Amino acid sequence: MLPACLLLALLLLAPALEAQEERGLIFNLDIGELCLQSAQCKSGCCHRTSGLSLARCASKAAEFQECSPKSIYGVYYKCPCESGLTCDADKTIVGSITNSDFGVCKDPQD
Q: Which amino acid is at 97?
A: I
Tens of pLDDT, residue by residue over 12-68, are: 454 444 444 565 679 999 999 999 999 999 999 999 999 899 999 999 999 999 999
| Higher-pLDDT residue of 66, 70 | 66
H helices of the chain, in order, are: 4-18, 93-98
CB 85 within 8 A of CB 106: yes
Say if pTM beats, i.e. exceeds, 0.85.
Answer: no
Tell me whether residue 19 is exposed, middle or buried, using C-beta atoms within 10 angstroms of its C-beta: 0 to 12, 13 to 18, 19 or more.
exposed
pLDDT at 11 over 70: no
Q: Measuring CA to CA, which residue among 61, 100, 102 is closest to residue 81?
A: 61
CB 67 within 8 A of CB 81: yes
Given a cut of 50, whether residue 105 has pLDDT beyond it is yes
Q: What domains, with CATH codes, occur in the chain?
A: 25-106 (2.10.80.10)
85 pLDDT more than 90: yes
